[in-house]
Amino acid sequence: AQGDLLILGSASGETPTSALTARKAKQVGARLVLITARADSTIARLSDLRLVIRAKTKHGADPGPASIQPMASVFEQTMLLAFDVVTVLLMEKLQVSEAAMLQRHWNLE
């Protein structure tokens, strides 16, 4: 909805379902934050803010530090921590309970 914030994660920034959700969010007036490995992607261009994680992905985005973990594991683990930190900080700043957040979760469907 107008004034909402959508935070998406997509290593490539080209994931079709994420791109569709991003476009829908922008159409209804929501702000968009993307956590990605590619700052020059389709979804990144739609985003109001990007958090770029330099990590190996299955698409060969910025490899960042070397890792023996397969495909996008390092990116996905780092993204999970980033989501948790952002969520906790927003909940504190906006004084929003977990129950209130659950009511608005996935309201774009």
CA 103 to each of CA 41, 97, 106: distance values in angstroms, whole numbers, following the listed order: 30, 10, 9
Say how far apart CA 98 and CA 10 lie, in whole Å.
24
Helix, strand, coil share of the chain (percent; to 5): 40, 15, 45
* Residue numbers annotated as active site: 76
Copy the structure tokens of residue 60: 């060969």
Question: CB–CB of 76/32 below 8 Å?
Answer: no
